[in-house]
């Protein structure tokens, strides 16, 4: 996300996580040196995030972060405020098309001209999904209902929200080939071996971006506000 937005840590670079959950991303960006606001609708998740904040402040005493309760459909911020607005595992769960578009529009509204809007989602339209579902992988059989999300669909949604130069990229695409069935987790040796093989492939056998976005279990979509 920071790579594509070409953002470097700075206390004058403002970031908003619009739906932060336990704020792991927001706190990490604040530790790096960004000025971060983050909100979520879930008070329990926010309480957990507030317990983590003092630990993050130990890593960076100048930590700049504000955690609050909020609604992505009506973001409590002035227009043109942030250099980067993002979320992870949020928009997957919006079933209503009008609400999804409103959420994207709000994220764009509070972004500065020239700033970036990004979202990380589950690749629920993955080509291996049918296989994983039939084999009973819990992430596909016991979670709340999600939309069928594909790189093409998300690209069109971000473009429709008014963003330019939308880029989609997959996150750890090689993991899909070791994802299920998790036979290797029965033994510590095989679990460590598969982990190391996966790390090696992701770092040294780099797939072209279209393949990464097509095969990854999660993918990032990011675009720039005119």
Write the pLDDT tens digit of every residue in 47-87: 999 999 999 999 999 999 999 999 999 999 999 999 999 99
CATH 3.40.50.150 fits 2-19+72-125+144-172+216-224, yes or no: yes
Write the pLDDT tens digit of every residue in 115-134: 999 999 989 888 988 887 77
- Residue linked to tokens 């909100």: 39
Write the pLDDT tens digit of every residue in 12-38: 999 999 999 999 999 999 999 999 999
User: Of 202 and 7, which is predicted with more confidence?
Assistant: 7
pLDDT value at residue 222: 98
What is the overall mean pLDDT for the chain?
92
For residues 87-91, average pLDDT: 93
pLDDT value at residue 142: 63
Phi, psi at residue 7, to the nearest 5°?
A: -105, 135
Instruction: With H, G, I as helix, E, B as strand and everything else as coil, classify residue 189.
Output: helix
Write the pLDDT tens digit of every residue in 92-101: 889 899 999 9
pLDDT value at residue 67: 97
The rounded distance, in Å, linking the Cα atoms of 148 and 180 is 20
For residues 177-184, average pLDDT: 76
User: Of 142 and 160, which is predicted with more confidence?
Assistant: 160
94 token code pair: 């919006």
The ranges assigned to domains in the chain are: 2-19+72-125+144-172+216-224
């Amino acid at each position: 996300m920071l790579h594509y937005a070409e953002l470097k840590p700075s206390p004058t670079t403002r970031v908003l996580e619009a739906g932060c959950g336990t704020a792991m991303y927001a706190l990490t960006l604040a530790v790096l040196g960004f000025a971060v606001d983050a909100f979520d609708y879930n008070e329990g998740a926010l309480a957990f995030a507030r317990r983590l904040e003092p630990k993050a402040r130990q890593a960076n005493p100048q930590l700049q972060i504000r955690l609050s309760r909020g609604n992505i459909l009506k973001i409590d911020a002035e227009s043109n405020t942030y250099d980067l607005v993002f979320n992870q595992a949020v928009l997957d769960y919006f079933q209503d098309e009008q609400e999804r578009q409103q959420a994207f529009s709000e994220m764009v509204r509070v972004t500065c001209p020239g700033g970036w809007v990004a979202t990380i989602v589950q690749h629920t339209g993955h080509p291996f999904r049918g296989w994983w579902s039939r084999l009973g992988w819990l992430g596909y059989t016991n979670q709340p209902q999600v939309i069928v999300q594909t790189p093409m669909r998300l690209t069109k949604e971000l473009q429709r929200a008014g963003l330019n130069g939308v880029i989609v990229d997959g996150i750890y695409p090689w993991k899909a080939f070791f994802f299920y069935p998790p036979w290797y987790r029965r033994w510590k040796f095989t679990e460590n071996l598969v982990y190391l093989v996966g790390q090696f492939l992701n770092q040294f056998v780099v797939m072209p971006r279209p393949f990464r976005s097509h095969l990854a279990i999660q993918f990032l979509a990011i675009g720039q506000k005119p």
